[in-house]
Amino acid sequence: MLEIKTAKTRRGKRELEKRAPKLVESGKKTLILHGTKTSGVLNAVLTQIYQLKKESAVKYSRKNENIKPFESGGETSLEFFSLKTDCSIFVYGSHSKKRPDNLVIGRTYDHHIYDLVEVGVENFKPMESFTYDKKIAPKEGSKPLIAFIGEGFENVEELKHLKEVLLDLLRGEVVENLNLAGVDRAYVCSAVSPNRVFFTHCALRLKKSGTIVPRMELVEIGPSMDLVIRRHRLPNDGLRKEAMKISREKPKKKEKNVKKDVLQGKIGNIYVPDQKIGEMALPNKSKGVKRERREAKRKNQGDEHSKRRKEDA
């Protein structure tokens, strides 16, 4: 059992805030692990996957004897490493006589195993075996284009499951807007048969086409391999329903008397009530009232003088 500890420093509190659930989740991290026995091909595959996802991946090079993803009790160590590194996707490599060059790709929900896909690696070609112009090499951390070719990805259950897992593994952080000039790589997955997928990594080369939209060419830069599906385990309905929940955002308060225009932007209406000036109580010290009193006093004095003159006369 893991001992629950509270953060005592500001740095620890910031790390806990990063791992806390968010309304819009950030990109998923990948955990790369080795089994009890691995081959040279499998070591190269795990290394190249780590190089492709270097910014959002954690790689352990030690052998792990207790990890057995498809067996009961063999998932405890895997869930522990997922919680420790805050990774929601893992790639586990092992080699045996029964299952040579075996690769297990899985996802976790709340640091518990969500689903698993087991594939065998065949016809592997590393990046070093490809010759190409280094100027078109993709930049580290760039957003990839992922293409799935074949009807099997829509009809065959195993291929549909593999497609979902590969999308989560390769796409990186989800963004709303994307600059096409920054798309410099592509992952191509071709369904050769109901249980075999050809996977390759290509660089995108932009060429003139005579129009605004440039013509794109794919240059294979590796790695490339055949993935043969061996076993897969889907999540149960209850776990899937819980993982697919979407939290509703708090509704924004409606702004009264405000409207938006494409040209003028935000426009507001101000309503001023009718001012009943005749019924307003004026202060006693107002200048206008004093002037009226002086004029009325002078008028009264003038009338009195005129009456006196008439009486004297």
Ordered domains of the chain (ranges, CATH): 26-235 (3.40.50.10480)
- Residue 284 binned pLDDT confidence (cut-offs 50, 70, 90): low
Say yes or no to pLDDT of 202 above 90.
yes
Question: What's the whole-number mean pLDDT along residues 136-144?
Answer: 86
CA distances to 45, 105, 107, 122, 190 from 222, in Å: 11, 20, 25, 14, 15
Residue predicted with more confidence, 290 or 74: 74
Q: Which residues pair with 185 in a beta bridge?
A: 203
pLDDT, one tens digit per residue, over 89-127 is 999 999 999 999 999 999 999 889 999 999 999 999 999
This prediction has a pTM of 0.74
**48: Cβ contacts below 8 Å, ≥ 6 apart:** 126, 127, 222, 223
Least confident among 14-23, 218-227, 304-313:
304-313
Task: Report how far residue 54's alpha carbon sits from residue 58's, in angstroms, rounded to the nearest whole number.
Answer: 8
Say yes or no to pLDDT of 270 above 80.
yes
Task: Report how far residue 252's alpha carbon sits from residue 242's, in angstroms, rounded to the nearest whole number.
Answer: 26
Return the pLDDT at 105: 97
Return the pLDDT at 311: 65
